[in-house]
Structure 1
Amino acid sequence: MMFKSIYYTPLHLILGRPHKITVLVLPYFVSFLLDLLPKIQCVISAFNMYS
C-alpha cells in the first residue's frame, strides 16, 4: 500500500505546490462552518430553554 500524502507526486504535479491544497480546501471548510453555525445556535438555544 502506498502512503498518500500532500507530497504524493501526481497531486504535487497537478497542484504545483502542496500549499495550494490548503488554499483550495480552506474556503470550503469555512463556508461549511458558516452554514452549520445557525443550526448549532438553534440546538444551543433549545438546550438552554430546558435547563
Structure 2
Amino acid sequence: MNVLIYLVPIALGLGGLGLAAFFWSLKSGQYDDLEGAGERVLKDDDAL
C-alpha cells in the first residue's frame, strides 16, 4: 500500500500534463479546420 504514495501523484501529474497538452492544442488552433484536411487530400494539385 505504500506504493500508492508514489503512484497517485505520478498519475495526477501525467493527467495534468495531458490536460495541459490538450489546452495548448486548442489554443494553437489545431482543431480549427477539421474538414479542410480531408478535402485537401482529395484535390489533385499535380498540375505541372
| TM-score (ref. length: structure 2) | 0.47
Q: Per chain length, whose mean CA-contact separation is higher, i.e. which structure has more relative contact order (CA < 8 Å, sep 6+)?
A: 1
Structure exhibiting the larger radius of gyration computed from Cα positions: 2
Greater share of helix: 1
